[in-house]
Chains A and B, each alone.
Chain A
């Protein structure tokens, strides 16, 4: 019998709020979290895009030094939402550390703010500056820093993987995480993604002509996908996490089932990395139709810039 995958818990830190209730309320009220980009001494003067999805409210982290020491800003976000999800899930410590729970969590490129410091030292051509690169700097900055820190903080011993696919990082985490549960490799997966505030991320997408630039003086009006005046994406910070569980396992323990992942598909154009072609999009839709056994799939994620990533 095919294993079903259900969503039983979620949390997020976003520019429009922290936690499901606040985020939904602000969505309904039309509150934007996009602000003017902060001036920095490196890139902000050269970037056409002048906006950033900003988390500008205080967050009360309560992490022990043993956990903080390997965390850059991106991992603070990731570990906080992971902590909230696990706490609210009711899963006990024995299960969390049993190897039956895995983690699929990523970020665009780890912690760019920590990477800045590392590369500054590399290019200083100074032995003493080079020596100041600490043992923890790589652990704070690496691409899989969010997943690694989550496993460390909660003693999770199951499978771990960390996607790093820019805008689709979290979707891919959820999709591949659902396959882990569906095919019996894990009974539950903690899935999601995080990113921190840094202008290097904006600069990269700005140079690809992907960023919004027409609303620099009215940041609350962008991004606006599917709108006639849409002019590109807005880079933001924050984190989101969901807990996926095998249906029977979740039902047996009385978990609150929020939804079900009935299929997942992704593929590749095999060509242009920036502008997807219709063949790739069509094939993804075809695959998700087969997966979900539906003629008209409900797409979790249709990106406003024509990229499609299907989790039904």
Chain B
């Protein structure tokens, strides 16, 4: 997946699942949009659907420091690349 494709998917999830429309890519999601740890866990489930692949426990823990949409894109992009390499 390209970064733009991932971005479209993620922004769609934020709009539909979290009722957050057009967040700034570098907004602090917690501070600006009240996106909390519960949302982060829910988002991981959505990312598994995007990737059509389960995340390992270590991969999930690696997401807990994410604060912005750009961080999420970096995270999903790296997972996507890792899976493409097999």
Contacts and interface: CB of A to CB of B under 8 A. Distances in A.
Interface of A: 65-66, 69-70, 131-132, 134-136, 139
Interface of B: 18-19, 34, 36, 38-39, 41-42, 45, 48, 54
A131 B38 contact: no
A65 B54 CA distance: 27
Nearest to B37: A135
22 contacts: A65-B18, A65-B19, A66-B34, A66-B36, A69-B38, A69-B39, A69-B42, A70-B38, A131-B45, A131-B48, A131-B54, A132-B45, A134-B41, A134-B42, A134-B45, A135-B38, A135-B41, A135-B42, A135-B45, A136-B38, A136-B42, A139-B38
Nearest to B34: A66
Contacts of B18: 65
The 3 closest A-B pairs by CB, nearest first: A135-B41, A65-B19, A66-B34
Main secondary structure of the interface of A (DSSP, over half): helix
A69 B42 CA distance: 10
A63 to B, nearest CB: 12
Nearest to B40: A135
A185 B63 CA distance: 40
A134 B48 CA distance: 13
Nearest to B44: A135
Contacts of A70: 38
B20 to A, nearest CB: 9
Contacts of B38: 69-70, 135-136, 139
Nearest to A70: B38
A66 B37 CA distance: 12
Contacts of B19: 65
